Amino acid sequence: MATTSLNVNGKAASVTVDDPDTPLLYVLRNELGLHGPRFGCGLGQCGACTVHIDGRAVRSCVTPLSAVSGRVVTLEGLGTTSNLHPLQSAFIEEQAVQCGYCINGMIMQSADLLARNPKPSERDIKSELASNLCRCGTHLRILRAVMRAAASS
């Protein structure tokens, strides 16, 4: 058993796990009750589990808890229901969500992009989101949402 202290969404959290190499995703969902990050492929290839560690997008399904030393932000910590992040607002306004499974990864990856490049081109956005999988076909609405959020900044 290993106890680890984390900063998740601006709050201190302490978790005890059997194996320090437990994926961060399992800790966030099962121990802390955060359901923004999703289990998709378990291989870091689909993006559904994306979170930020110290402001950078990472795939939490392949990030062992033992490797986490920075501030973790999940979709729940990006904005609040009373003060949405510009990307969250834009995704709602563009109706970019269909089933919603991929949206956590799309928003978290896009937030990382906008932090590094506040005025990305359409090509920049497509390139950034190329490794985030969506089967519903809302790609054009997702693209418009990211562009809307960038324009509102």
Task: Give which of 108, 110, 97, 87 is closest to 141, Cα–Cα.
Answer: 97
**Does residue 64 fall inside a structural domain?**
yes
Angle between helices 122-129 and 103-116 (to 10 degrees): 130
pLDDT at 153 > cutoff 80 = no
**DSSP code of residue 23:** B
CATH classification of the domain holding 105: 1.10.150.120
CB 49 within 8 A of CB 38: yes
CB 3 within 8 A of CB 14: yes
**Does residue 81 fall inside a structural domain?**
no
Instruction: Choose the final residue of a domain: 52, 76, 100.
Output: 76
Provide the pLDDT for residue 136.
Answer: 86
SS3 24: helix
Per-residue model confidence as pLDDT tens digits over 92-109: 999 999 988 999 999 999
Per-residue model confidence as pLDDT tens digits over 23-78: 999 999 999 999 999 999 999 999 999 999 999 999 999 999 999 999 999 999 99
Q: What domain range includes position 106?
A: 86-152
Say if residue 40 is in the same domain as residue 6: yes
